[in-house]
Amino acid sequence: MRPLCFAPLLCAGALFGAPQTPTGSTPAATNQPGSRYGKPEAAPLRDILEYPDRYQRRMVRTQGFVDLGLGSEDYRLREGSGSEDVLLLPVETNTEVRRLVGKPVEVTGVVRLLRPKQYHKGVDMDTIEDPGLPVLPPPDPRLPRVSISFTSIFDATPLEHPRADGEGRFVLSEATSRRSLRVVGQFRGANLFNDLPDLPGRDANAFVLKDGNDSVWVIGKAPAGKGFSLDTHLKGDTRFWLEVEGRLEACGEQTCLRARHIAMAARPASGED
């Protein structure tokens, strides 16, 4: 995907050059935005717009609707029709945002205010101060004053049937132990709400997933994937929903779900907060 460029307003000077992230780096690498700007902080979009100085150069998680701005590759995030928006800048240029236009999304990224361009020995100060992020365009009345350089963005459209396969109950039997199970449920951290008895000898990555009235310990993988990483000890992260695929197995007197794949899922409209 070519570097972002908003014609005709922003194409002059190639203001949207490719990000400076080294090839082959991973989200856990020290040169990634998360290591410079802290862990993502949940923040309503209206707060970011009203108090941008408070969030300047900080990593946030927020929600809104993707909209188009001046051109086909000028993406905005807004709370609703007619509301003020922020400029969305992908940290990775191969991110496909067009398919999300008009949809509710969850965005994780770094907040930065647009400012007059400054240079040091011919080098843009954005590149010097924020080497892992896209270069900002100069302020313009037709552009938002606030930007989010996002490391992840995913569709947050509510799911219609967020239930476990089969009976929706985590009962271990000869039949259920042989088949793969896909469960969409609310992340409950390391049993932060005492949904289940504690799991003796569990590893540090084990967490509870709640599906309706049923809960299960998930083992074998950390609650992380492409573009996200949840903290098993942080109650603020329990507002997220995950899709876990794996197989049931015995864990002492309980049944666990040994995960093979974990992905972020949308919170259903009727789901818990």
198-240: pLDDT as tens digits: 998 898 999 999 988 889 999 999 999 877 899 999 998 998 9
Percent of the chain with pLDDT over 70: 76
C-beta atoms surrounding 98 within 10 Å:
11
> With 50 as the cut, is the pLDDT of residue 161 above it?
no
Helix (H) or strand (E) holding 55: helix 52-55
Q: Compute the mean pLDDT over every residue in the chain, rounded to the nearest whole number.
A: 80
Answer left, alpha or beta for residue 46, where phi above 0 means left and psi between -120 and 50 means alpha.
alpha
Average pLDDT (189-194) is: 95
C-beta atoms surrounding 107 within 10 Å:
24
- From CA 105, how far away is CA 121, in angstroms rounded? 39
> With 80 as the cut, is the pLDDT of residue 76 above it?
yes
| Full set of structural domains in the chain with CATH | 33-155 (2.40.50.140), 181-265 (2.40.50.200)
